[in-house]
Amino acid sequence: MSAGPFLLDLSLQGRRVVAVGGGAVTARRVRDLLAEGAAIEVVAPTVVAELADLAAAGHVVWTRRRYAGAHDLDGAFLVHTATGDPATDRAVAEDAEARHTFCVNAGDATTGSAQVPARAEVPTPAGDVRVAVHAGGDPRRAATIRNSLVDHLTSGIVDLRGRRPTGGWVALVGAGPGDERLLTRRAATLLAAADVVVTDRLVPQALLARLPESTRVVDVGKSPRHHPVPQGEINRILVEEALRGRGVVRLKGGDPYVLGRGGEERAACEAVGVKVEVVPGVTSAVSVPAAAGIPVTHRGLARGFTVVTGHDELPGLPTGTDHTLVVLMGVGSLRETAAGLVQAGRPSTCPVGIVENGWTPQQRVTLGTLADIADRAERVGVASPAVVVVGDVVTLAHGWAGAARGSAGAVA
């Protein structure tokens, strides 16, 4: 079995690194080394613009001449050479070897004593996870494998929870409108890193089913006219769990900042010094209408839209049918909302669509106008969760032609 490189995580913070050569390869490596906190000197008669800018800003030292011999490497912990001249690169590598200093020869890895693997970083609240892949000197193969590993680590399948105390944290995570495939990569990563998940009733249940058995799930879900866990209690749970040193994901349907009280939860955590991350989700206000073929804006039909809840009064809203109104949590007050919009100036013929259980196999669409939508909804038994859309864009919905001819109004 041939000996391969020993992969080692080096700390270069504040340590001297010499980079010989001023081209694009050196610039790329210098960028990485600066991120690790290295103190870098570039030795080259000319450099690319990026390196010149770094030198002008004082981030690197630029010695404007050719490599002059082993004394250029004095005090270096690591040397990188990429001059484009094989003889010079070989001389740098030999001088570094004589000084027992590791050297990366970008032009010929076989003459250097160190190699740079394909690397990636997956940030988690419990500490960043770093991946380094060496594939027998084949950099493209290594990069392909690295990318696959990152995909796996951010899929939500791998348990990323910390095993040593690192301090508690809270992440306000949007779960999207109902289809787990619409979850963001960052959301999946944080779920895999959480000790506690505080969840709403509208999140995809498959997400919770895949959590490790030792991850505690706290259900604080609300339904219409039934709020068993008040918002203040939810805030307390988030804060107390984080102060106990646990990683907490507050998993919310849609987006945590779109009528989801995410701002209140963030403020409660930050008031006591708890670190908070906010991960946007695909908001149901836009995505659920889209699932029924309804864009909230459309050239020639609507140039803007407003999102409100059915619990609010609706004065002062644009009355033109070319302005889309999206009503969340509006099933219980549908009849009053429709009447109020007509009274405020919207025509009773204004199209209305109701999308129940968007992005799930149970999705159903009911179409009508402000004049008859409440009766149609009552007739087919519309129930929450549902999104109500009011405006001309509803005429783009799948099945609108049938509804306009006076059919029952419900579309599977």
Which residues are annotated as catalytic? 200, 222
Does an H or E element contain 279, and which? strand 275-279
Q: What is the dihedral of CA 390, 394, 395, 396, to 10 degrees?
A: 160
Handedness of CA 328, 332, 333, 334 (dihedral sign): positive
Name the region of 130 (left: φ>0; alpha: ψ -120 to 50; beta: rest): beta
Could you tell me the strand order of the sheet in which 216-219 lies?
216-219, 196-199, 247-252, 169-174, 275-279
What does the alpha-carbon distance between residue 20 and residue 32 come to, in Å, rounded to a whole number?
Answer: 15
What does the alpha-carbon distance between residue 102 and residue 91 come to, in Å, rounded to a whole number?
Answer: 14
- CA 76 from chain centre, in angstroms, equals 39
What does the alpha-carbon distance between residue 8 and residue 12 come to, in Å, rounded to a whole number?
Answer: 12
Provide the 3-class DSSP secondary structure of residue 175.
Answer: coil
| Contact (CB, 8 A) for 394 and 298 | no
Q: For residue 16, count other CB atoms closer than 10 A to its CB.
A: 18
What does the alpha-carbon distance between residue 250 and residue 265 come to, in Å, rounded to a whole number?
Answer: 9
Name the region of 51 (left: φ>0; alpha: ψ -120 to 50; beta: rest): alpha
Residue whose entry in the numeric block shows the structure tokens 């990366």 = 104
Q: For residue 397, count other CB atoms closer than 10 A to its CB.
A: 21
- β-strand pairing of 169-174 with 118-122: unpaired
End-to-end distance of the chain based on CA atoms, in angstroms?
Answer: 62
**Amino acid letter, 146:** R
